[in-house]
Structure 1
């Protein structure tokens, strides 16, 4: 049988953060770990070099941002179609919502991670959104299957995005963090094992980190000096999305400057150490397509508290405590529940480890192979 050639577009790895970056890197690792005789992958870039590039990432000059938007458009609509045709690929796989609008004699698999652009237009620049959404729809024309990350995300897309293509759900594999962590990070941040609540991720508005800070203020009142709050991650992708200043202001308002730690971005081994030694992981987000840190925390053997957002409920199953979204008092009550009930912690850790086994690299790549 003739091998299927799959062209994998990795261009966006040079700016991708958090979830999409993890998604792309884990696919590359899964393809390498579980090869098949029926499929050959053609990668547009070396995934590690592209992910490590910092030229366009972070707090860059305005001209770089503008240049990147032009470069991205040229890649998707001119360079990528040329490379796909030249390679003779049977399938084009795009992880970042956008595929070429240029007609191709190639099946397209396009990952649309969530419906945020349609559900929360106020969080995005109007001009940018006005060209990005038409690009999404243009790239989905032709022989295309949409892939998304959860049944919750699929329902949101069907309801809000006006997509007419078939939508398939493939559960991703969260990042496989190193087996052992770099414990010196605790000394660096002035932390002690099992004495802090943890959140890992960007400061996007939808993450509702001010709600977490407000809830933690209640814990500090009831258990003064016993716990810290560690917020690992970078600022939001844009000023319109970013909540970092509001978080800092909330910390000052609640007089928690010496109790809330903001270490910024950390390497994987340090993140692993923080997961392993945290008292609990807290995820108060108002909108997720999947919720990668939920599984990362469960794999690390700590209890998890989530909001009652649909995707988080789906991914966590029955292995997490749940608080009412945007309700800091209810979140504080769930945090207190863990503090007061050690047996509950043990039960949640066991359930979490069992739940996490369902999200593997083999299952992730297997979902794609079925479609290919």
Structure 2
């Protein structure tokens, strides 16, 4: 059975979807199935390294990207289907071609944010993108999503016209070396610190985390820092980075909170390996890959009780009430006072992380692909 994997979106993907796409491509090669022949639309490493549409862009550059994306989905990808005649087409970025195709489709819709949080997206763009998503859900399509929470959410907005399967994804492979000089350069050599890695999207609740950290310092007088690693939100409406910067200044925490910007994989691993704990205060997630990355490296995780994070963390994380600054602060205090709790969370986290392997990830797709 021939399977065509659409990897075009890697030329702009920078966060969770990039990890999803790269790890699936790697797993397809690492764990071949005798009945499946994989065809990649692009070389994943080359496409991921393409800088044409990454970084700050003018309105003209953004328009050119949208035209390029539309041209790919509606013309070039259907032509590729005709060329290779696959049995299955997998689109990993919400959108499948509107055109009728001669093959089955697996379309990955990672979450329901576009429906749940309309205030975070430009109105015209959201309308256009939702139209592309819905028009591509045709013929013999199976929707793939990341958690049972996302499945329930999508059924609310898409109905049950197409079956939805849950496949848990794999965390980023971290076989790269660490960058210890990065710690020294930023005053983290022997410093205990809480960590968050990800964009400054509004749904991440990072201003809440900053306020809770300030409250934690006042209550405990502990010598801790907070590291917020990642780039700005994906649009002006979604971006909390300026708000966080202003809040840090207002609270006088310039020496206590480090904003690293985007960090490469070497530095991501270095931060995970040296953090006291990972904190994930998000109000809405489809999966929450940093939870598994942190647990797999062996640090305790505090997370909001948002359903997808509860599903992924199981009983291995320490949950606080979503949006509750006081509760988050109290959970941070618990960790510095209870070594037994930390050790127990680390053990449980290592076990929980084993449920999310590359082999299980690709086997989930193989099972759906081969199911008659």
Band of TM-score, shorter chain = over 0.9
Aligned pair partner of 1:8 in 5, 9, 20: 5
Aligned pair partner of 1:208 in 205, 210, 214: 205
CA contact 2:200–2:231 (8 Å) conserved in 1: yes
Q: What are the equivalent positions in structure 2 for 1:271-286 lying under 5 Å apart?
A: 271-286=268-283
Q: Look up the match of 1:269.
A: 266
Aligned pair partner of 1:59 in 56, 60, 71: 56
| Aligned mates of 1:203, 1:162 — CA distance in 2 | 31
Q: How far 1:255 moved relative to its partner? A: 1.1
Aligned pair partner of 1:198 in 183, 195, 200: 195
Q: Look up the match of 1:295.
A: 292
Q: What are the equivalent positions in structure 2 for 1:1-372 lying under 5 Å apart?
A: 4-162=1-159, 164-178=161-175, 180-193=177-190, 195-224=192-221, 226-372=223-369
CA contact 1:233–1:265 (8 Å) conserved in 2: yes
Q: How far 1:329 moved relative to its partner? A: 1.1
| Aligned mates of 1:170, 1:36 — CA distance in 2 | 17
CA contact 2:191–2:225 (8 Å) conserved in 1: no
RMSD: 1.1
| Aligned mates of 1:161, 1:211 — CA distance in 2 | 32
| Aligned mates of 1:154, 1:123 — CA distance in 2 | 21
CA contact 1:97–1:113 (8 Å) conserved in 2: yes
Q: How far 1:225 moved relative to its partner? A: 5.7
| Aligned mates of 2:319, 2:139 — CA distance in 1 | 42
TM-score (norm 2): 0.97
CA contact 2:302–2:320 (8 Å) conserved in 1: yes
| Aligned mates of 1:246, 1:273 — CA distance in 2 | 27
Q: How far 1:193 moved relative to its partner? A: 4.2
- 1:35-71 CA-partner distances (Å, limit 9, x unpaired): 1221111111110111111210121222110000011
Instruction: Indicate the SS of the match to 1:93.
Output: strand
TM-score (norm 1): 0.97
Summarize the Cα distance change of 1:72–1:163 in structure 2 as closer, same or farther, 3 Å threshold.
farther
Q: Which runs of 5+ in 2 are unaligned?
A: none
CA contact 1:178–1:268 (8 Å) conserved in 2: no
| Aligned mates of 1:161, 1:312 — CA distance in 2 | 22
| Aligned mates of 2:13, 2:160 — CA distance in 1 | 24
| Aligned mates of 2:7, 2:104 — CA distance in 1 | 17
| Aligned mates of 1:163, 1:138 — CA distance in 2 | 15
CA contact 1:119–1:160 (8 Å) conserved in 2: no
Q: Which runs of 5+ in 1 are unaligned?
A: none
Instruction: Indicate the SS of the match to 2:39.
Output: strand
CA contact 1:194–1:279 (8 Å) conserved in 2: no
- 1:293-344 CA-partner distances (Å, limit 9, x unpaired): 0000001110000001000000000001111111111100000000111111
| Aligned mates of 1:204, 1:58 — CA distance in 2 | 16
CA contact 2:320–2:331 (8 Å) conserved in 1: yes
Name whichever of 157-166 and 52-61 sits farther off: 157-166
Q: How far 1:194 moved relative to its partner? A: 5.8
